[in-house]
A and B are shown apart, each in its own frame.
Chain A
């Protein structure tokens, strides 16, 4: 934060050397969500981001000092991503004219998904409801809610085990998350196909134990 205090070139050089990669990466990823991959645009947005950070005597940086949670890198990522989103929203609003909501590529995909549903989508939706019901039937213990959430984030929203493990409050390692996903997938498939009870892991199977409830299989990861 010495660039706020001293405002010297050297401090800014240090800032650039530490956070340039984080800024560019965030710009690249956010712009991609708006369908923009041009290097010229990325370069412009990167420079604009730095200038934005400097505005009003580095108001953005000073604001971080008053926050109680999070790392500066995380805070900077949010600031940069919001700036890039605002840029594209503004540009889209200006070009499309009044009354139209700005939409990222992902928003548009979601809208399209809302508007048109194929037979496969309907079938998948019915299946999604069946999975939800199965998870409810299978869960009983205190960590079952967390496990079901993990399962759902992984299978429904395509979030990787790595990213789930990185979420605050999940409290599991990547292996722990993978283990929860694997076990629940085993139980859900058995439940939905009616092939009978499956054991929670091979060890238990070899000793003849079996289970069809989540509360028998969790906690090992914690």
Chain B
């Protein structure tokens, strides 16, 4: 009769040994003794271990490309979030099990859809908790944005104080609101509301200078018009990536955010599309000006000056380029040239509010 220690390991024993270790096996001692002597069983265990390892590394294999019939990422998100009917879910899951790319998309969608946060995410979430005050003030902002009416007490006070004026203002507001603002208008509005750039941009009305934002800084206090402009421009750029007008708007948003490197890159892209456009050159000059201000690089002032001079050679009446060049001269420590430009500006645009700034600058420079 065969000694039990001589019997080869069964398939179950081999798999159990690989999964749980030899200690978990019922006839552990006999198996240990058998394995000391049996090359055949050792090779079978090694083969299962190799398959086990390969199974665990299955996601590392080369992925097949997505095909024309692959559902969108949005569809996988909707599936993961339980928004699709069962028959659609079945169809998509069947596809995911045969398409590597979509399997991965499903995997990523499931990560987003999981309502439980990992310990690391909990830490991040704690940093974004809004206290009662913050929630309350933001709720008021949302109320305004969603078109909510002021409460009854507010209405009463306003009605008593200036009913007629309110009615007129409301009428004007309705007319204004019914007109959809273009990104350029929104950007101009943002510039005026929260002017952080000394230089002028085309189409924007005067606004008092405020403390500037900078790259890497929070954009929490950006005016809503800028947020809206960014959202609109981003969406439109997806449809019209070559549009010079949209690229210029994108660059101006970067300018207002003081992301000068991005602004330069976008304006240069736009200039490549349409070789010379004065307003684009003026904007690019502003981006170089910002870089010079942020990084204290005088050479960037030189680039800005060069561009603005090109614009003014073509059109000496370009008041925005003239205004901006005067400031650049000032920053470059060339007061005589700055004074000459400011004087020209005051002659060119004597009645606007910008002329007040020009006269202040003239006074400041001549007093030195």
Task: A91 to B44: give the CA distance in the assembly, Å.
Answer: 55
Which residues of A (142-197) have their CB < 8 Å from a CB of B?
148-149, 152-153, 155-159, 163, 166-169, 185-186, 188-190, 192-193, 195-197
Judging by beta carbons under 8 Å apart, are B83 and A157 in contact?
no
Which residues of B (105-129) have their CB < 8 Å from a CB of A?
106-108, 110-115, 117, 121, 124-125, 127-129
| The one of A12, A51, A113, A195 that contacts B44, using a Cβ cutoff of 8 Å | A195
**A26 an interface residue at 8 Å Cβ cutoff?**
yes
Judging by beta carbons under 8 Å apart, are A124 and B139 in contact?
no
Closest to B111 in A: A29
Q: Give the number of residues in A that approach B within 8 Å (Cβ atoms).
A: 105
Judging by beta carbons under 8 Å apart, are B51 and A82 in contact?
no
CB-CB under 8 A from A219, the residues of chain B are none
Task: A193 to B50: give the CA distance in the assembly, Å.
Answer: 9
CB-CB under 8 A from A120, the residues of chain B are 60
Query: Given the interface contacts A3-B146, A30-B112, A195-B14, does A94 sit within 8 Å of B217 by beta carbon?
Result: no
Judging by beta carbons under 8 Å apart, are B93 and A169 in contact?
yes
Return A109 CB to nearest CB of chain B, in Å.
9
**B360 an interface residue at 8 Å Cβ cutoff?**
no
| The one of A12, A91, A188 that contacts B142, using a Cβ cutoff of 8 Å | A12
Contact with B along A103-146 (1 / 0, CB 8 A): 00010001001100100111111011001000000000000000
| The one of A38, A85, A94 that contacts B250, using a Cβ cutoff of 8 Å | A94
Judging by beta carbons under 8 Å apart, are A9 and B140 in contact?
yes
Judging by beta carbons under 8 Å apart, are A44 and B220 in contact?
yes
CB-CB under 8 A from B218, the residues of chain A are 40, 43-44
**B197 an interface residue at 8 Å Cβ cutoff?**
no
Task: A6 to B143: give the CA distance in the assembly, Å.
Answer: 9
Judging by beta carbons under 8 Å apart, are B113 and A74 in contact?
yes
Judging by beta carbons under 8 Å apart, are B63 and A10 in contact?
no
| The one of A39, A69, A73, A97 that contacts B269, using a Cβ cutoff of 8 Å | A97
Return B29 CB to nearest CB of chain A, in Å.
20
**A71 an interface residue at 8 Å Cβ cutoff?**
yes
Judging by beta carbons under 8 Å apart, are A77 and B77 in contact?
yes
Query: Given the interface contacts A94-B250, A106-B108, A197-B11, does A124 sit within 8 Å of B146 by beta carbon?
Result: no
Interface size class of B (residues with CB under 8 A): 35 or more
Judging by beta carbons under 8 Å apart, are B55 and A185 in contact?
yes
Query: Given the interface contacts A24-B128, A77-B81, A198-B11, does A168 sit within 8 Å of B86 by beta carbon?
Result: yes
Task: A156 to B61: give the CA distance in the assembly, Å.
Answer: 9
Judging by beta carbons under 8 Å apart, are B15 and A198 in contact?
yes
Closest to B140 in A: A9
| The one of A69, A95, A155 that contacts B266, using a Cβ cutoff of 8 Å | A95
Contact with B along A69-104 (1 / 0, CB 8 A): 111011101100110011101110111011110000
Query: Given the interface contacts A51-B227, A75-B83, does A190 sit within 8 Å of B234 by beta carbon?
Result: no
CB-CB under 8 A from B63, the residues of chain A are 110, 113-114
**A216 an interface residue at 8 Å Cβ cutoff?**
no
Judging by beta carbons under 8 Å apart, are A25 and B11 in contact?
no
| The one of A69, A85, A152 that contacts B73, using a Cβ cutoff of 8 Å | A85
Judging by beta carbons under 8 Å apart, are B143 and A7 in contact?
yes
Task: A197 to B250: give the CA distance in the assembly, Å.
Answer: 65
| The one of B85, B106, B242 that contacts A159, using a Cβ cutoff of 8 Å | B106
Residue picked from A12, A91, A127, most chain B C-beta under 10 Å? A12
Query: Given the interface contacts A48-B231, A106-B104, A169-B89, does A124 sit within 8 Å of B62 by beta carbon?
Result: yes
Contact with B along A51-69 (1 / 0, CB 8 A): 1111101100000000101
10 pairs, CB–CB < 8 Å, chain A vs chain B? A25-B115, A46-B128, A69-B83, A78-B83, A90-B238, A98-B273, A121-B61, A156-B100, A157-B59, A195-B48
Known: A53-B142, A114-B62, A193-B47. 17 other contacts (CB 8 A): A7-B146, A8-B151, A13-B135, A20-B130, A33-B108, A40-B220, A44-B218, A44-B220, A48-B231, A57-B146, A128-B61, A157-B59, A157-B96, A157-B103, A189-B55, A195-B15, A198-B15
